[in-house]
Structure 1
Amino acid sequence: MTLEGQILAEKAMVFRKGVVQRILKAVKSGELNFLEPTVNYDFGVEYPKLKELGLGRDEALSILNDLCEVGILVGEVVYTLAVCPYCRSYRLFLQLRCPTCGSTRLSKGAVIEHLLCGHVDVEDNFRMGEDLVCQKCRKPLKAIGVDYRKPGVLFKCLDCQAPFPHPKAMYTCSDGHMFDESELAVFQVRAYRPNPAGRVLLEKATIDLEPVLGVLANR
């Protein structure tokens, strides 16, 4: 037996579990023709139809992975979640920092460019009561597209006063690990459906397990 065959044969032993047999029979009968995941902040990724069969999150993911590996199910990515690279937690808190000094004290505002003198600043710094007035040349700004334009938004550090379009993103997971965007890991959430090519194996798996183990052992 090859190493791959041995691994697959070991995975096929999961077919002996009663709950897995119920899944296989439901797939065979058409009751489970599509397993759609849900994503919940408190419970993570769940498969409601498998939860009804008494399967917890981790066990469901393990069984679905096994059934894909032996060719009974096929999976397709439907969501991509950001997760902690250290503990795989999906409970993340985003913190914005100044890319210059690292401060977390930031402000955000719409950017205005005075077309006459070229002065650029956040809208709050142009505001004088109900009017917009350029702080560089002191001329009023009345018509957008004529006197001024709004090219986007700008962040500003309240400590070092540096303006920037994109703050540095730092993440902290629910277990306290901190990391930046370059370290962020992703978790692909899949939906599952029966694999037509695995129909013969499915028939054997729900009738007699020995032929299944024999097929896998010879891989």
Structure 2
Amino acid sequence: MPCKFNCPCRIGLDWISGIVELISLIFFLSGFGTKYWAVSEDGSIHSGLFTTCTTDVHILCYATHNYYHSSSAKGRIMGAAVIEIFTTCGLLFVLLLMLLYMCGLFEEKSVGRLAALTSYITSFFGFLGVILFGAGANSIDFSVGWSMGLVIMGLLLNIVAGIFIHVGSDQYVDEKLFQQSKHPRFKTAIPPLPPIRPQAQVTSRLSKMKLSA
């Protein structure tokens, strides 16, 4: 079916990967911005990458780096926050590469592979930040909260999206080559020039015209 905006309208793994990557980004950002990465044993304190709140008497919130100022866990938690910021940028870059590929701006196989490779590297650093934060929370006897669970789900979906775009780009290139082999001739804006007649045929026609005259 022709596409209104001259895009390769097809439903394949490369397009499904864009949807999965978008869902991955939603999960990750939901966990990234919420304040339940770690929870104290009695539930009176819940901590996120950037904000920590206490709910024992009144709800009071502090910047996480200020709350853990005198704690040994501060370095790990702040390191995790920095890593997750770069992970967010990586996820956005993966989605951008997928959109550029799917909208037909770049149909090269290398774009799909670059998106896949970026998704793998991004997930690696994302999990590294999760482990770092978990180690810091464990050192002060905090348990893992649901915000970290959302981030982990987003990173797993990001890996799935990378696999889909990798396999899908390979399939799309193979399909294009197959279609071109079935239809080797394509319409062009400038019609081809007529073949040049051999000189012998032109001479013979001229001699016939002279004899008839």
Is the TM value for this pair above 0.5? no
Query: TM (normalized to structure 2)?
Result: 0.24
Q: Which structure: larger Rg?
A: 2
If the length of structure 1 is used for normalisation, what is the TM-score?
0.24
Higher share in helix: 2
